[in-house]
Amino acid sequence: MYLYHFGFTELPFGLTPDTSFFCKLPGHVEALNVLKIALGSGEGFMKISGEVGTGKTLLCRQLLNELEDTFACAYLPNPYLSPEELRFSLASELGMRVNKNLDQIQLTERISRRLINLHKKGKPVVLIIDEAQALPDESLEALRLFTNLETEKRKLLQVVLFGQPELDERLAKTHLRQLRQRITFSYKLPALNLKQTQAYIQHRINAARIHSDETCPLQPIKFSSYAIKKIFKYSRGIPRLINILTHKSLMLAYGEQRFEISARQVRLSARDTDDVTSHFWPKIFTLPLAMLLGVGILLPVMGM
């Protein structure tokens, strides 16, 4: 009913990082450009950092999509791996079949040969690691040693690290200074400003809506200027929180059989969102949005 009411083909504000909803906001476009320039120049390590919910995983997957024709890409979404597990995972991502009992020295040699062969075929290899702040120190060192493999022109393995600010804090430590000095390009994802927040919301709504024409007219979805300002205020410009607040506000609007989203609906959604209430309200003042949704949605369905 939610989808039908607003004319959506799918939920526009889900939390799954879906590249069909990628919005070309200045910060994300700039980060992509930094990475593509660095990869094109053959650099060894690159780093993208950002607060939780700023879109690092979505950016990571968008980068994979844009590189797949020119690079051999390896992707590790869950990097809490020992050096041994890291080597086996890299081998698997490179399409290698290796015995789990293979000696680590032999495995490293086989990976090195694979990197050289891919280079000869004109397919430079890039390893993209999401949630890189979870990598143990020993695994970070193993990665650094892999990037020692190089031709006269470029590294045989390039590594892109996506991580939370804790990654920056770890790399600032003395014992990781060798790796830190190898990171030649880095970028910190910013939160969205008010104008970008509005553009982001509209982009996702447009991407999820059925195409409107004379035979299938759609009621316009309107956000009041105060609603947008409230979403921006409560989300602090963090895309994940924007998604949560906008999704809940649309649910409330549907429960009231409306197409206009007001500041009141955003405020009710914010009071039901933990990461917002911890910044703006004591827990005692949070409201049970599920109860409000239950009443609001059941009444129109029951014809009341």
Write out the DSSP string of 108-159. Answer: HHHHHHHHHHHHHTT--EEEEESSGGGS-HHHHHHHHHHTT-B-SSSBSEEE
Q: In a 10 Å sphere around its CB, with 0-12 CB exposed, 13-18 middle and 19+ buried, how is residue 60 labelled?
A: buried
Q: Answer whether residue 51 shows pLDDT above 90.
A: yes
Average pLDDT of span 210-237: 85
Residue 227 near residue 195 (C-beta atoms within 8 A): no
pLDDT (mean) for 187-194? 96
Q: What average pLDDT does this structure show over 145-167?
A: 88
- Would you state the pLDDT for residue 258? 93
Q: Note the pLDDT of residue 1.
A: 66
CA torsion through residues 274, 277, 278, 283, sign: negative
Selection from 77-86, 150-159, 209-218, 275-284 with the highest mean pLDDT: 77-86
300-to-288, 295, 304 alpha-carbon distances in Å: 20, 9, 6
Q: Is the pLDDT score of 152 beyond 80?
A: no
pLDDT tens for residues 69-104? 899 999 999 889 999 999 999 999 999 988 888 898
Can you give the pLDDT at residue 98?
86
Q: Is residue 301 very low, low, confident or very high in pLDDT (cuts 50, 70, 90)? A: very low
> Cα(192)–Cα(233) distance, rounded to whole angstroms?
11
The predicted structure's pLDDT at residue 150: 78
**What angle in degrees, to the nearest 10, is found between the helix axes of 83-93 and 137-146?**
50
Instruction: From 57, 181, 233, 200, select the one nearest 129 (Cα to Cα).
Output: 57
**Rounded to whole angstroms, how far apart are CA atoms 193 and 262?**
20
Across 37-41, 181-185, 295-299, least confident range: 295-299
Take residue 162 and report the two structure tokens written for it.
């996506």
Summarised one tens digit per residue, pLDDT across range 277-293 is 777 765 544 455 555 55
pTM for this prediction: 0.87
Per-residue pLDDT at 161 exceeds 90: yes
Q: Which of 250, 259, 201 is nearest to 229 (CA)?
A: 201
Q: What's the average model confidence in pLDDT over 139-164? A: 88
Q: Residues 117-146, buried b or exposed e (16+ Cβ, 10 A)? A: ebbeeeebbbbbbbbbbbbeeebbbbbbeb
pLDDT of residue 299: 40
Which tokens hold the place of 118?
A: 């891919």
Q: Which residues on adjacent β-strands are paired with residue 289?
A: none
What three-state secondary structure class fits 184?
strand
Mean pLDDT of 238-251: 96
Give all domains of the chain, ordered by start, each with its CATH number.
Answer: 2-14+192-301 (1.10.8), 26-188 (3.40.50.300)
